[in-house]
């Protein structure tokens, strides 16, 4: 373990000296520069049912949660939790008239998607396009929390061989191409699937990296779930606990700067554009049973550092000390939990982002 740690540290020194070009993309260019993205419950878990038309206007993007697969695990299905299809579509139209984006989130904790072959891939594509056309969604969010893993011999994120991953990349690209450049494509993986690839690459560790890389030119933004994760190793080799400003900065920095996969300085996952990077947070302590809630006061320290380059005296040092002004914003689980928690999340962060001058 000690030798592996030293190896990671040595490769990090080499890596930090390398100039990394960010991914290029042109997707969904009609969005604001600082976003609040919230998941909306299409179910009742005790936080109450909120009609779409009654969602707080402080949210920019509403992720309708969730489109889930049926028995074949490839056909995505969706039925509104309230009212009729006509009422639900009317509420989506209303939100869009107010400048909001309404996205169908695919998966969730229980939404397994399996695409082992071309037939399953085509069912997945057809079902999603049917739902988009029926309800008028602005895009899709890929929130697969199970079923994504790398086969044992799949070691190159640039050229994956695991059928599930290859077919998912192909399906996402097909759907995105069908709707054009303003189609909104987002992702909400857990940290193990992304930042976990820094320490090891295999099974679930880093399993989202080939997907991100494979749709980099279509991706609007990604908001990794910085909760229910325990802790994570930053690029400085230190372990940071979730729910702290250091953790938020360290995890975000990997996507903003790029990082060596599996500690290998010759295998770099390139930086995303900073406007493609967001952070996912729970709106209340109860929204993340396994932890990760961070108070607005603490989180604003992290945001000041990430966006403005203003340090807060933490242990982790941002790779770009001047910050990343185009960092896109925050996602929250969820709109419903935020409402139940007296709108702490949306009130605090809407005010924070609105106070940042627009980039010229």
- Which CA distances in Å does 350 have to 53, 197, 296, 327? 19, 32, 11, 15
From 25, 27, 94, 108, select the one nearest 63 (Cα to Cα).
108
Counting every residue, how long is the chain?
A: 360
Q: Which two tokens stand for residue 343?
A: 């709108």
Per annotation, catalytic residue among 68, 77, 145, 344: 145
> What DSSP line would sit under 114-182, residue for residue?
---SHHHHHHHHHHHHHHHHHHT-SEEEEEE-SS--B-TT---TTS---HHHHHHHHHHHHHHHHH-TT
Cα–Cα distance, 338 to 293 (Å, whole number): 12
Cα–Cα distance, 155 to 266 (Å, whole number): 13
CA dihedral 241, 245, 246, 249 (to 10 degrees): 120
Q: Which two tokens stand for residue 217?
A: 């030119």
145 is catalytic: yes
Active-site residue list:
145
């Amino acid at each position: 373990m000690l030798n592996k740690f030293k190896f990671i540290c040595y490769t990090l020194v080499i890596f930090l000296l390398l100039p990394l070009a960010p991914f290029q993309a042109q997707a969904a260019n009609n969005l604001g520069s600082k976003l609040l993205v919230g998941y909306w419950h299409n179910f009742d878990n005790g936080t109450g049912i909120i009609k779409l038309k009654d969602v707080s206007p402080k949210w920019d993007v509403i992720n309708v949660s969730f489109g889930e697969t049926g028995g074949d695990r490839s056909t995505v299905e969706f039925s509104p939790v309230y009212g009729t299809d006509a009422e639900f579509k009317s509420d989506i139209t209303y939100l869009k008239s107010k400048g909001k984006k309404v996205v169908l989130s695919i998966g969730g904790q229980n939404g397994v998607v399996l695409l082992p072959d071309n037939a399953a891939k085509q069912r997945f594509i057809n079902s999603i396009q049917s739902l988009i056309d029926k309800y008028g969604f602005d895009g899709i969010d890929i929130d697969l929390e199970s079923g994504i893993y790398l086969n044992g011999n799949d070691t190159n994120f640039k050229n994956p061989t695991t059928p599930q991953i290859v077919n998912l990349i192909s399906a996402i690209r097909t759907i995105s191409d069908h709707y054009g450049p303003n189609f909104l494509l987002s992702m909400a993986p857990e940290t193990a699937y992304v930042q976990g690839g820094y320490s090891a690459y295999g099974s679930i560790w880093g399993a989202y990296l080939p997907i991100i890389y494979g749709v980099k030119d279509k991706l609007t933004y990604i908001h990794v779930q910085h909760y229910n994760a325990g802790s994570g190793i930053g690029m400085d080799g230190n372990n940071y606990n979730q729910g702290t400003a250091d953790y938020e900065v360290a995890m975000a920095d990997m996507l903003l700067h790029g990082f060596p996969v599996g500690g290998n300085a010759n295998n770099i996952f390139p930086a995303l554009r900073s406007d493609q990077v967001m952070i996912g947070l729970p709106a209340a302590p109860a929204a993340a049973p396994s932890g990760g809630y961070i108070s607005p006061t603490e989180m604003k320290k992290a945001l000041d550092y990430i966006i403005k380059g203003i340090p807060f005296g933490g242990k982790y040092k941002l790779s770009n000390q001047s910050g990343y002004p185009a960092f896109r914003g925050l996602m929250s689980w969820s709109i419903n939990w935020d409402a139940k928690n007296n709108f702490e999340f949306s009130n605090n962060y809407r005010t924070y982002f609105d106070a940042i001058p627009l980039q010229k």
